[in-house]
Amino acid sequence: MRFSILPAFILLLPLAEIAGFVVVGRAIGLWLTLALVMLGFVLGMILLRRQGIGILRRMSSEGRNGVMPGRELLQPAMNVIASLLLIIPGFITDVIAILILIPPVRDFVWRWVAKRFVTVHARGGFSTGPQPDFRDRKPNSKVVDLDDEDYHREPDRNSPWSGKHLGD
């Protein structure tokens, strides 16, 4: 059984957020803790309103059309993600949101995403992040590059499915 970190993260995040509330509440008091949570919510709403959901719709439409979202789309999309994380009550999600808003962290995320993003074109090609070199692919790569002659084959006359035997 393969262990995935995402379900564990989703299950443990609320517990960690509650622990964060307790720790921060003991350190600065109940009212300041509530004020910080409300401040994060308000900042998240302002940021979300400024960026708008339109950027997510634009990314989705470009993905359906086979266009790789560029930096100009990823930056506002990361702002939307950060704003949603700020809206969620808790200090861990707020710290993650603040990290997403820092430009060097964004550049790191862009490089990570660009290496793993594969776009399949309807005309039979594909492209990945920044200008791939297919000669240097790893042997266990998940990307299969086929030419016209690779996926064209002649029918087998001896096959029972060829239709030759149906009239006999």
Q: Tell whether 144 is covered by a domain.
A: no
Tell me the three state secondary structure of residue 127: strand
Helices (H) and strands (E) in the chain, counts: 6, 2
Task: Please tell me the total count of domains within the chain.
Answer: 1
Q: Where are the alpha helices (DSSP H) in 52-138?
A: 54-64, 71-87, 91-101, 103-116
Q: Which domain range does residue 85 map to? A: 35-115
How many CB atoms are closer than 10 A to CB 74? 18
Q: Tell whether 136 is covered by a domain.
A: no
Q: Tell whether 64 is covered by a domain.
A: yes
Q: Tell whether 75 is covered by a domain.
A: yes
- Give the separation between CA 154 and CA 4, rounded to whole angstroms: 43
- pLDDT tens for the chain, 168 residues long, are 456 787 888 889 899 999 999 999 999 999 999 999 999 999 999 988 887 667 767 767 776 766 655 666 777 878 888 999 999 999 999 999 999 989 898 888 778 877 776 655 545 444 454 444 445 555 566 666 666 666 666 667 777 766 654 554
Q: Tell whether 110 is covered by a domain.
A: yes
- Which candidate, 45, 26, 25, 55, places its Cα nearest to that of 97? 45
